Amino acid sequence: MISLKNIIDGLKSNPSILENTLNLYGSYEKNKNRNCVHCSSSDALKINKKNNTYKCFSCGAGGSVIDLVINKEKTDFMGAIKKLCIDNGIELPKAEYTEEEKKAFKKALEDKKEINKYIFKLENELKNPNTNIDTKFRISCLIDNLKENKDFINDTEIINYSKFKANKTISIDKYISEHDEAVTNAINGAKGGETHLLIAPTGSGKTYSIINILKKYKYKAIFILPNSANVEQVMSEYNIPGAYDKLSATDAMEKDNVVVMTWDKVSKLTEADLSEYIIIIDEIHQTYTDTYRKKAIKGLYDVSKKFKGRIDITGTPNKLDFEIYNYITEYKQKEQTKYNVKLYNGIDTKMIIDILNNSNNSSLLMNDTKELKYISTMINKKSDVITSDTKEASQLYNNIMTRSDMGDFKVLLNTTTIVAGVNIKNPNVSDIIVSNIKDLGTIKQYVARFRDLKEVNIHIFNNYQEECKIYDIEWLVNENISKASILKDAYNVACNGNTEFSTLGLNINPINLDTNVYFNRDINNYEVDSVYIRSQVYSKYYNSRTLESFKVLLEEYFENIEIVYNIKANEDIKRDKDIYKHELKLSKEEAIDNLEQYKDILIGYDEIKKSKLSSNLKEYLKINNLYVEDIQKEYLKNNVHKLINENSLKSMISLYGKYVLENSFSLDLAWNMAQRKNNKKIFAKINTIIYDELKQEYPNAFSNDYSLEVRIYNLITHYLYEGVSYTQEHLEDLSEALRIAFGDNWSLSTKKISAVLNQIYNIDRVKINLSVSDKNYNFYKNILPGSETNEKRINAYTIKSRIDISDIKKELGATSSDMSLEYSIQKRKAKILSQLDSNHKEILLEGIF
């Protein structure tokens, strides 16, 4: 690499660099001279071409291009060199630091006081006239790195704190009820069609104040909470009707003016008249966190538009789009829990266990059920693991839901089943641990579940990135929404601008493009899913932080944060965990084998256990001559509850029942499918089969379908069909062809094209020799592969046939005599056709005859 001295000589001697830099600062040639960039003279600046310097004969300023940059940028010599190199694309030498400098650098980053002292020391060394130029460069780069870590992290990251301007800020000692006029104002605003936001610390009694005012004045309102645990506790605590799991939303609305329900329940109120109701969405931040519940969240927001007005509530306002609110009220507490936060650079299971064992009372939030179970075996106090599978059989969970306390339990181990909206009144909790979770709102919300604490230790264990880019998250959110808006327009243009396209009301597409844009059938147009975009941007940002950067982000909610370095995994614990998890796996497999003999009575297991039967389950029991009392006796006699609870099989059993009752699968087929980790690809294949069959049976119904999903599907199947082979190179060509066909602002990745192909076809993959590939394969568009790679052998894919029902049955291990999959497909088609109105049905009949 060229030396720094040579770089400096080159900067000083290059006439183009001097002229370009003068131009950059606004000096342009006029009558052979130039206007001065330092004074107001219009033609007093002249360039000396012999030594490549400039001088203004009016103000006297002049010198080399380096002097020019020092003067205009108010920087030093090294700063000017670095700027000129960056501006002119000149590569600087790499700064090689001494071991002493590296140690001092690390020490400075660990202590805010030390970093300023060290920068001061280096700056003095930089000013020393006896220091050579290469050392000065190294010191200058070291100062830049220190300042970048100090200022860019400690100050710039603050740009990502919640940005809102409250219309009213109210100071309270502890509870909102001390000054609940703002709650009344929000309710009245919502009744007038407005959207209000209430920001208040967790534990300040938001739910209490709002529900009591709604009940007092008999306002019609639906109070929304994220999950069943929250709804269950509110129903019990405030004696109001609610809807979650199997409880009907419409039945609850008939019982009282104030109703509480989950996201998924309100999303099903599409046909209800909600014009007289206001909607209160508590824990609104969670709609930007739980992206795995995208369907319920989207349904919630769609239905929320049908209400008279809306109130959103949160204690952690990060991620929210504050521009949608007519009025924002913020409550601030005077009495607050003192949080002593330790931020660990890694995850140490042994340290977590030691903290739990040495605490008074404690809790651990971790989304790893097996890890939680292992930790529970190592705790020397009464504890319980609460997950979505185990919660109903848990006495600790029952205590929290019914009494808002832990009873005689000393340690709570839970997944995000318990995060927001649940109260745990236990003043003896001394330590709260959060492991492998980086969402700021989730951390703050979980910590705040524990009420009446004067002081508590918070331990946060995570693995972090070594370096990260810091930028305004909201800027990126807006950028992504802007790009999605362009994409949305491209989608609609790709449909020939025809907003009247339809499949006569047949609610089915051959493929799902799975982007930030979705088709809204209410308005027959594509729209941007801004909530999903916002949640994804925030999630990716938090997960890409360094330890120091994450600490600054946490300081929005916590004051006393100490970083703990050098966390290492304990090898003995790791071996123990591996053995334990293997034993868990074997126990689960054995339990599934034992439960298989009771398949017929496990349909609707949870409903039968509670004696709350859905209409589908009642019909199933009647057809099979099964009786609830007999089934419950069988459960007890054969230890069914124990097998399910101890092996965390509730979700699997529920899914099994759903496959039988809702999809009409046979017991064997449903049992096999319930044990698979992911059936999305299976249902995607089934969906494509249904679409193709309907299109063949009712071609008239699809003649006006210009939707983008259909057009992409048609183009892919036009270019790639039975007998055609392709490689990654061909998929890239097809991706480009699709972009050209549908506009520059639209694209479909090769990964997505490959997924679509595997949804439609049976495909063989082999390694091919490029030198003989043309003799054995019918390639896409007759393009011979190999021009884009130096490899001699590459993967080639050959389309063998269309996927049909027999292929899916084979994949699922279903026998040829099991016709339940065929029946399920016919049932789904009948359901799709039953949604047509009479006019559409007549058109279908015309198409048939």
Same domain, 175 and 57: no
627 within domain boundaries: yes
Average pLDDT over residues 329-341: 89
Same domain, 23 and 50: yes
Compute CA distances 180 → 168, 188, 214, 238, 679, whole Å: 13, 13, 12, 18, 49
37 within domain boundaries: yes
Q: What's the pLDDT score for residue 482?
A: 85
Same domain, 143 and 250: no
Same domain, 33 and 147: no
Q: What is the pTM of this model?
A: 0.75
Q: Is 53 helix (H, G, I), strand (E, B) or coil?
A: strand
Same domain, 349 and 365: yes
Question: What CATH number should be reported for the domain holding residue 61?
Answer: 3.90.580.10
- The CA-CA-CA angle for residues 526, 531, 534, to 5°, reads 115
Give the span between the Cα atoms of 103 and 306, in whole angstroms.
Answer: 61
Same domain, 357 and 449: yes
Q: What's the pLDDT score for residue 267?
A: 87
- Of residues 280 and 112, more confidently modeled: 280
Q: What's the pLDDT score for residue 787?
A: 64
785 within domain boundaries: yes
- pLDDT beyond 80 at 524: no
Mean pLDDT score across all residues of the chain: 87
657 within domain boundaries: yes
Average pLDDT over residues 331-358: 92
Q: What's the pLDDT score for residue 153?
A: 47
Among left, alpha and beta (phi > 0; psi -120 to 50; other), residue 496 is left
| Alpha-carbon 186 to chain mean position | 30
Strand order in the sheet with 62-63: 29-30, 33-34, 45-48, 53-56, 62-63
- pLDDT beyond 90 at 406: yes
Same domain, 715 and 730: yes
- Of residues 771 and 741, more confidently modeled: 741
* pLDDT tens-digit map of 706-731: 777 888 899 999 999 999 999 999 99
Same domain, 186 and 317: yes
* pLDDT tens-digit map of 85-144: 988 888 888 887 878 888 887 777 666 556 666 777 787 787 788 888 888 888 888 877
697 within domain boundaries: no
Same domain, 422 and 380: yes
104 within domain boundaries: yes
- pLDDT beyond 60 at 741: yes
Q: What's the pLDDT score for residue 848?
A: 43
The secondary structure of residue 520, as a DSSP letter, is E
Tokens of 33: 């001279």
Q: How confident is the model at residue 152 (pLDDT cuts 50, 70, 90)?
A: very low
Q: Mean pLDDT lowest for which of 127-131, 460-464, 618-622?
A: 127-131
Query: DSSP characters for 394-450?
Result: -HHHHHHHHHSS-TT--EEEE-TTSSSS--EE-TTEEEEEEES---HHHHHHHHTTE
Among left, alpha and beta (phi > 0; psi -120 to 50; other), residue 257 is alpha
- pLDDT beyond 90 at 521: no
Domain stop point among 67, 87, 107: 87
Question: What CATH number should be reported for the domain holding residue 451?
Answer: 3.40.50.300
Q: How confident is the model at residue 584 (pLDDT cuts 50, 70, 90)?
A: very high
Please say whether the beta carbons of 528 and 452 come within 8 A: no
Q: Containing domain of residue 738, as a range?
A: 682-688+705-821
322 within domain boundaries: yes
For the ranges 146-155, 497-506, 661-670, 790-799, the one whose mean pLDDT is highest: 661-670
571 within domain boundaries: no
Q: What's the pLDDT score for residue 358?
A: 96
Q: Is 345 helix (H, G, I), strand (E, B) or coil?
A: strand
Q: How confident is the model at residue 560 (pLDDT cuts 50, 70, 90)?
A: confident
Same domain, 134 and 214: no
Domain stop point among 298, 333, 368: 333
Angle of helix 805-812 versus helix 667-675 axis, rounded to 10: 70
- pLDDT beyond 90 at 754: yes
Q: How confident is the model at residue 505 (pLDDT cuts 50, 70, 90)?
A: low
- pLDDT beyond 50 at 30: yes
Domain stop point among 333, 358, 382: 333
Q: Taking the CA atoms of 23, 27, 33 and 36 in sequence, report the sign of the dihedral they define.
A: negative
Mode of pairing for the β-strands spanning 560-564 and 53-56: unpaired
Same domain, 208 and 242: yes
Burial-class residue 421 by CB neighbours within 10 Å (0-12, 13-18, 19+).
Answer: buried
Q: Say which amino acid occupies 562.
A: E
Same domain, 356 and 432: yes
Total of domains in the chain: 6
